[in-house]
Structure 1
């Protein structure tokens, strides 16, 4: 394949141009690398390499101004703003930066296109004046200030540009304007230097003047790269600018227009793939590359061009491991590396000045992969200790002093992570620098992973050094919020360069980096409306009609630029793969680009259309089954000897797999911080409070006076048990305050229930509170002992009838403590688990000899106290009568079901099988 660069070099050789004396000016530095590589193909003898520079370097040299970063420009512009603005009108730097960024872009455009500055700024002020009814009086203070802002734009511009030029600085537009003004001087000083401009398309006014002046003085040649198909079609935007140049430049009235080529109509294999989502595109690029590698092992002359550069990471992860030669022209964005997330979390934490920090924000930072090693001191992991203490003590908000108290040896790390960020900006920046140095000290430069981490740290150290320098010079950053904003501005423009051989193997690049370059095989991703081209967007203070009048570029010209780049990639390519997203996304509607539609309508090439559906394997949902091995059976034997509790048996009924995890593997639920008091904590507080009240009353009859006396202790006992269970969690405000009041109300309502019962003439004797039970169950089918263990909340005697009472803070209805068929008792957890529990308590107390039959067993539900004591009952089939007394017959029937359940749990041939919940 003959590339455009090679064609230019061949033409220069044909015209006997001395290449050593030529200055090549290209749209990008990258194109210069390829030009230098292809020079030997046209040389017959050794010579000194020609000068090869980008257009930006060329105009900087001509203007004698140095380009400075956008962030530096922002600080310098704020200096001008402060000098011109009055005290009451001055915005903070953070507010200023939001509108100044847009204004700087407008300054840039106005200068690049050499628009008379005073004229356009006066025009904009007049438009705003009209919008706000300039003749209407009186004007509000807000409108006056608003119009004053527009009237000062030219003053801002003059002061700012004068200051920059005085210091030999400039932004791109100012450099172009100065270069255009200095072109005559440049020509006088370089009247023997030949310039070759190649691969340009859309030129701003300054570039046009510079190039035309050099052409008119015989000091330059210019080579365009446009195809006949586009050039002769006056509606085709790919040639919009080249047609204008040929028509408007006087130079082409007497000189040939080089070149209009005829490559586009050559035979090409063009395939268009509609693929769901961006990740789908990235994965399919990997598939295409894998197939291409079978044909061309090194993938020479193959490029992956990313319409959306956010696809870089997914695409890199999708490239087959077999591809060794790879060059990535885009840098890896610093904002995408793990260290960026750490500083983002730190800035978010400190943006609001507070003496205490939210536990989730703290644990996120402490758990970060770069921070965790800093807390490993003297073989103790203080990060784990901090997190466990936070969890176990329900610490929702923590101060720095509390953190140091928990992990005192790590005080230095805690200090620069969490202390004094709001003291001063210098302190915040110093903390960031200390953090970087501390992380560096923990890394091992001999491991590959740590080498990469050191590279990350180096780049972030540079970034914070720049912030320190800017802050020391300008003193505009007043708070952490502003610092965060400037940090993000710097971060978004920084990248980590990839190492690679720029001229070998697969090339991965963005659309603009493909300028002047040609490839045989091209894969273009994200060819969707809103991406390629980007469509209408107006991040400018200059209205559309004003741009038209002043010949400033609008979205139409921007679209034409991308049209040119898209079609230029196709011109000399033989194999083209075009991918677009078929699904509606945040920025796109899943609509394929007009470029694809245009390709189809041209009817020049045969376009292969494909819709790719991702291969989604059908994953059959299988219930987990745990085989009972001899070791597992031994664990069950041991567990049976220690004793099954009623809750563990109902847990098995609910789901055998949960029973296996909790009782055999001993896996406990993680004890997370309870920001809001959990239901089980509320239940424990109520249970423990009632135990405190009734334990001293065992073996005694209760009276109304006794119960009334307990009411005065509710506040103290409930608060005490909240402190015991909820640890350092705060119950003095919010939902927790409401829940603590609910706990007090539950206890009070229960005591009132007791008083009403006594007033009704009932005689109640407390027999036992939190009664321990441990009984042996005789199961002949099992050759090992089986025990039942459990605590009964309350046993009392009401009017001569023994009652076993289980407290529930949740809501329980009467139908949940009654059964019809005994065989259903162990099969339906939701319906019969409450009945099973109270019957188990009755069975254990009867077996231990603590109580004699008949008796009653049931539940008192604190959310259903009006129903009183919900007695277990056996409803006879076909009858409305319910038997609430638990007799020998009841116990025998229950025992049969209980033994069947325990035999099933211990049976070596019955696996633990998950239930569908």
Structure 2
């Protein structure tokens, strides 16, 4: 019988829960238990020093690199960029300190000069960082060896300690464990297979004859093997399927769950393992049956609180229309952001200012768990950022705040019975069934950030864990997981860009079929509902003679009656907040520039440049096109000089009149008086402007200049009128040579409109499908 004097140490909390579940049916006194991380923390203490928080560590590192040229390491000295890149430096420092390696020792082992400068820079940063830790009375894992003391009071609470060893002990960790074993009986239980031999080198000083595929219990206190047994288990129930689409693996996951349930497997003994834990977001989206609970928690990136914090940051970086619209959508006061954040963005941040912003972001949040974790984060950041005189700008504080906020996860409670977890969470747990997706090269093995500064050769020479060692450790985890499960289901993506992990042929004896299975499982994920298009006949009693027609609405009617009905009768408008410009936007801006240019009577290059600079800010996506047209309008200025004797009498002139008994309206771009001739000009930015001829006018749907002519006759009571298109692309004035004939054609079209208005009008779709190519109603009409 175990007692409270016995301590069991597990790799994870989930492994502890698994152990406790197994003991429920036993009538016995349970031992004490904890995770290896908790055990190592409680087993040591520091004299007159405190442990350095992650946020404090980042700030101290940023301070440590200020006098060092870290750009040579490929790392930015910019604070916000350094926030995300500092992890590379810290992981390197952590690795060498944990393995008791000095940077100067690494230099002597290298036969190339390539690393010398980089290592010298890193050594300088490390020395600066350690000095800052000392000045602030901080202990970090980087300087742990020089500061830790074994906590005898804690250790002596136990008579026996058993560590379930699943993974890798650094030299520092094993040093601590070894010291503890001198005061209490300490056993280490571990497994030996081909993939974890690097991890077992910690026992090399004890001359153990360790064989492959064995379970061992080693008494570290007595330095003897107390137990050994061979492991011969081979899992025969392995199913492996390939898919062309990553999402379609979810179909297979669901199918496998149902298959397990039909075998009588308890859902609580089924696990879905994600080599890439980010895939949990997609899995959650398709969890309509509520199968899953997520061991990694649920991120808050779609929560209103984070969205508000993020959109404020995006708006401060760029106050474009998209970010302004998002502020309004999330009900964030633009006035508050500009007055309380933007004005202080590049100034030193006070604790009061940070509190004000944090409270504003939180004020309408209703999720109690999120509020609690948010408040905890804010409290922690205040202590870290404002208690050590770091003198940070508001923009830097906000960047740290947003980065930490994005990492908050909420517990997945009241969810399904099937646990979704990463591979590290599976250590020392036995499952009835395990489903592993994404068994691809890009996810298995994971690429370590610890390998950024040293080559594999150099690491090997320095006796540091290499990339090969880390890959083997991951293979060890997967092999243990697969061997300890009764049923295993594997899926992977097989496509042009993805292929099955190269480990697969080592881990699985069976030949792997690379044929994709998307079709076989597609009905699970996507309901097999076929959409049938109904080609509806739209007829309505509408008197079109009561409408005031513009040239564009008439063209729409003549091009396609259905389009006219949807846009002009039903008033259906295209909805978009995209910053990508619509087709008409360039022409609209050019028209405004020309109107102001001519109205000012200052037709100089300087004035034209100033106008382009003014309108360039309206949409950044138009900058290139506007630059092209600025060059073209220089030629327009030259053309205007040739017409210096001609007077411009009106710009953007509005008219409304009648023609053949039907109301028409429009806006004339420009009216010039050339002696006694009224010249009507319509600006065009099109690259392919054509005018009607005697051979083509009968099929024309464009009556813009005819509308101008009719309007000008009414406005100016004149008959001597000419109408022109001005091609801004070609800098040419093109006269409407078929004006009289097109006026007759327009009159006959209005006669037809009067006639069709007497009965139900059939708003048919056009037969010319080229018109549909860029139509907003293309999908509605199934074109």
Q: TM-score, normalised by structure 1?
A: 0.66
Once the two structures are superposed, the pairs formed by residues 244-263 of structure 1 within 5 Å of their partners are 245=203, 250=208, 255-263=225-233
RMSD value over aligned CA atoms?
5.2
1:556 alignment partner, SS class: helix
Q: 1:462 aligns with which of 376, 384, 409?
A: 376
**Does 2:5 align with 1:36?**
no
Deviation at 1:850, TM superposition (A): 6.7
Deviation at 1:558, TM superposition (A): 0.8
For residues 103-138 of structure 1, give each alpha carbon's deviation from its aligned partner in whole angstroms, at most 9, with x where no partner exists: 43233223433x2x5xx322245579972899xxxx
Q: 1:433 aligns with which of 355, 366, 379?
A: 355
Alpha carbons of 1:99 and 1:651: their partners in 2 closer, same or farther (altered >3 Å)? closer
Q: Following the alignment from structure 2 to structure 1, what is the Cα–Cα distance between the partners of residues 124 and 711?
A: 90
Q: Which residue of 2 aligns with 1:399?
A: none
Deviation at 1:553, TM superposition (A): 1.0
Q: Give unpaired runs (5+ residues) of structure 1.
A: 1-16, 135-142, 352-356, 376-382, 384-410, 444-449, 693-710, 759-763, 779-785, 826-831, 874-883
Once the two structures are superposed, the pairs formed by residues 551-570 of structure 1 within 5 Å of their partners are 551-570=463-482
Q: Following the alignment from structure 1 to structure 2, what is the Cα–Cα distance between the partners of residues 469 and 866?
A: 67
**Does 2:90 align with 1:104?**
yes
1:108 alignment partner, SS class: helix
For residues 77-101 of structure 1, give each alpha carbon's deviation from its aligned partner in whole angstroms, at most 9, with x where no partner exists: 667789999xxxx988768767764
Q: Which residue of 1 aligns with 2:105?
A: 123
Deviation at 1:743, TM superposition (A): 6.6
Q: 2:737 aligns with which of 824, 849, 872?
A: 872
Q: Which residue of 2 aligns with 1:818?
A: 693
2:344 alignment partner, SS class: coil
Q: Which residue of 2 aligns with 1:828?
A: none
Once the two structures are superposed, the pairs formed by residues 33-182 of structure 1 within 5 Å of their partners are 33-41=17-25, 43-45=26-28, 47=29, 49-65=30-46, 68-76=52-60, 101-113=87-99, 115=100, 117=101, 120-124=102-106, 131=113, 149=121, 152=124, 155-156=127-128, 159=131, 169-171=139-141, 182=150
Contact 1:714 1:747 in 2 (8 A): yes
Q: Following the alignment from structure 1 to structure 2, what is the Cα–Cα distance between the partners of residues 361 and 82?
A: 36
**Does 2:639 align with 1:749?**
yes
Deviation at 1:819, TM superposition (A): 3.8
Q: 2:236 aligns with which of 240, 245, 267?
A: 267
Q: Which residue of 1 aligns with 2:780?
A: none
Q: Which residue of 1 aligns with 2:344?
A: 420
Contact 1:750 1:862 in 2 (8 A): no
Q: 1:544 aligns with which of 443, 456, 464?
A: 456
Q: Following the alignment from structure 2 to structure 1, what is the Cα–Cα distance between the partners of residues 345 and 737?
A: 63
Q: Following the alignment from structure 1 to structure 2, what is the Cα–Cα distance between the partners of residues 688 and 206?
A: 75
1:285 alignment partner, SS class: helix
Contact 1:59 1:175 in 2 (8 A): no
Q: Which residue of 1 aligns with 2:658?
A: 775
2:539 alignment partner, SS class: coil
Once the two structures are superposed, the pairs formed by residues 379-458 of structure 1 within 5 Å of their partners are 411-412=335-336, 414-426=338-350, 430-441=352-363, 443=364, 451-452=366-367, 455-458=369-372
Q: Which residue of 2 aligns with 1:580?
A: 492
Alpha carbons of 1:297 and 1:857: their partners in 2 closer, same or farther (altered >3 Å)? farther
Q: 1:861 aligns with which of 706, 714, 726?
A: 726
For residues 155-185 of structure 1, give each alpha carbon's deviation from its aligned partner in whole angstroms, at most 9, with x where no partner exists: 4476467668x65x442x6557877x749x6
2:691 alignment partner, SS class: helix
**Does 2:566 align with 1:649?**
no
Contact 1:272 1:609 in 2 (8 A): no
Q: Which residue of 1 aligns with 2:506?
A: 598
Number of residue pairs matched by the alignment: 734
Rg larger in 1 or in 2?
Answer: 1
Q: Which residue of 2 aligns with 1:304?
A: 272
Q: Which residue of 2 aligns with 1:908?
A: 760
Deviation at 1:52, TM superposition (A): 0.4
| Range 149-158 or range 765-774, more displaced | 765-774
2:162 alignment partner, SS class: strand
For residues 646-668 of structure 1, give each alpha carbon's deviation from its aligned partner in whole angstroms, at most 9, with x where no partner exists: 32111223343442244213356
Q: Following the alignment from structure 2 to structure 1, what is the Cα–Cα distance between the partners of residues 114 and 484?
A: 55
2:488 alignment partner, SS class: strand
Q: 2:10 aligns with which of 13, 26, 33?
A: 26
Alpha carbons of 1:111 and 1:68: their partners in 2 closer, same or farther (altered >3 Å)? same
Deviation at 1:524, TM superposition (A): 0.8
Q: Following the alignment from structure 2 to structure 1, what is the Cα–Cα distance between the partners of residues 200 and 108?
A: 35
1:224 alignment partner, SS class: strand
Q: Which residue of 2 aligns with 1:321?
A: 289
Q: 2:166 aligns with which of 200, 214, 230?
A: 200
Q: Following the alignment from structure 1 to structure 2, what is the Cα–Cα distance between the partners of residues 607 and 754?
A: 82
Q: Following the alignment from structure 2 to structure 1, what is the Cα–Cα distance between the partners of residues 374 and 495?
A: 37
Alpha carbons of 1:860 and 1:347: their partners in 2 closer, same or farther (altered >3 Å)? closer
Alpha carbons of 1:123 and 1:902: their partners in 2 closer, same or farther (altered >3 Å)? farther
Once the two structures are superposed, the pairs formed by residues 594-673 of structure 1 within 5 Å of their partners are 594-600=502-508, 602-603=509-510, 611-613=516-518, 615=522, 627-629=538-540, 633=541, 636-637=542-543, 639-667=544-572
Deviation at 1:301, TM superposition (A): 0.6
Deviation at 1:59, TM superposition (A): 1.7
2:340 alignment partner, SS class: helix
Q: Give unpaired runs (5+ residues) of structure 2.
A: 70-75, 209-217, 774-783
For residues 578-597 of structure 1, give each alpha carbon's deviation from its aligned partner in whole angstroms, at most 9, with x where no partner exists: 1222246xxxx412112322
Deviation at 1:319, TM superposition (A): 2.1
Once the two structures are superposed, the pairs formed by residues 456-495 of structure 1 within 5 Å of their partners are 456-480=370-394, 482-484=396-398, 486-487=400-401, 490-491=404-405, 493-495=407-409
Alpha carbons of 1:247 and 1:319: their partners in 2 closer, same or farther (altered >3 Å)? farther
